[in-house]
Copies of this chain bind each other. A is one copy, B any other.
Amino acid sequence: MSTDSKDDLVFKALANGLRRQILDALKNKAQTTGMLCEQFSSLDRCTVMQHLKVLEEADLVIVQREGRERWNHLNAMPIQAIHNRWISQYAGQAMSILSALQQGLDRVPE
Residues of A within 8 A of B (CB): 4, 7-8, 11-12, 14-17, 20, 23-24, 27, 74, 76-77, 79-87, 89, 91-92, 95-96, 98-99, 102
List 20 A-B pairs, Cβ < 8 Å: A8-B15, A8-B16, A8-B17, A11-B11, A23-B86, A24-B85, A24-B86, A74-B86, A76-B86, A76-B91, A77-B98, A77-B99, A77-B102, A79-B87, A80-B83, A80-B99, A82-B82, A82-B83, A84-B96, A89-B96
Given A79-B82, A87-B79, CB of A4 within 8 Å of CB of B27: no
Interchain CB contact under 8 A, B83 and A27: no
Alpha-carbon distance A87/B26, docked complex (angstroms): 11
Interchain CB contact under 8 A, A83 and B91: no
Alpha-carbon distance A89/B74, docked complex (angstroms): 16
Alpha-carbon distance A99/B20, docked complex (angstroms): 22
Interchain CB contact under 8 A, B4 and A11: no
A4, A79, A91, most chain B CB atoms within 10 A: A79
Alpha-carbon distance A98/B11, docked complex (angstroms): 21
